[in-house]
Amino acid sequence: MRISFLWALLLLTSAPSSMAIVERHDRDDGQYLKLGARFDAVGEVEPDGSGTLVASRWVLTAAHVAAGRGGATAVKFGERRYRVKRAVLHPLGTAARDRPPEVDLALLELETPVDGIAPLEIYRSHDEAGRTAFIVGWGDYGKGGTALTHTDHRRRAATNQVSDAGPRRLFFSFDAPPAGTDLEGVCGPGDSGGPALLESGGRVLVAGVSSAADGPPGNYGLTDIFVRVSAYADWIDKTIHASGAEPKAQP
User: What pLDDT does 149 receive?
Assistant: 66
Q: Considering the entire predicted model, what is its pTM? A: 0.88
φ/ψ region of 98 (left if φ > 0, alpha if ψ in -120 to 50, else beta) reads: left
pLDDT in tens, 81-110: 999 999 999 999 987 666 779 999 999 999
pLDDT in tens, 102-135: 999 999 999 999 999 999 999 999 999 999 999 9
CB 205 within 8 A of CB 196: no
User: 3 pLDDT exceeds 50?
Assistant: no
CB 25 within 8 A of CB 211: no
User: What pLDDT does 95 receive?
Assistant: 78
Of 4-13, 162-171, 175-184, 211-220, the range with the lowest mean pLDDT is 4-13
- Structural domains of the chain in order of their starting residue, each with its CATH number: 10-37+122-230 (2.40.10.10), 42-119+232-242 (2.40.10.10)
Q: How confident is the model at residue 54 (pLDDT cuts 50, 70, 90)?
A: very high
Peptide bond into 47 cis (omega under 30): yes
Q: How confident is the model at residue 20 (pLDDT cuts 50, 70, 90)?
A: very low
Peptide bond into 178 cis (omega under 30): yes
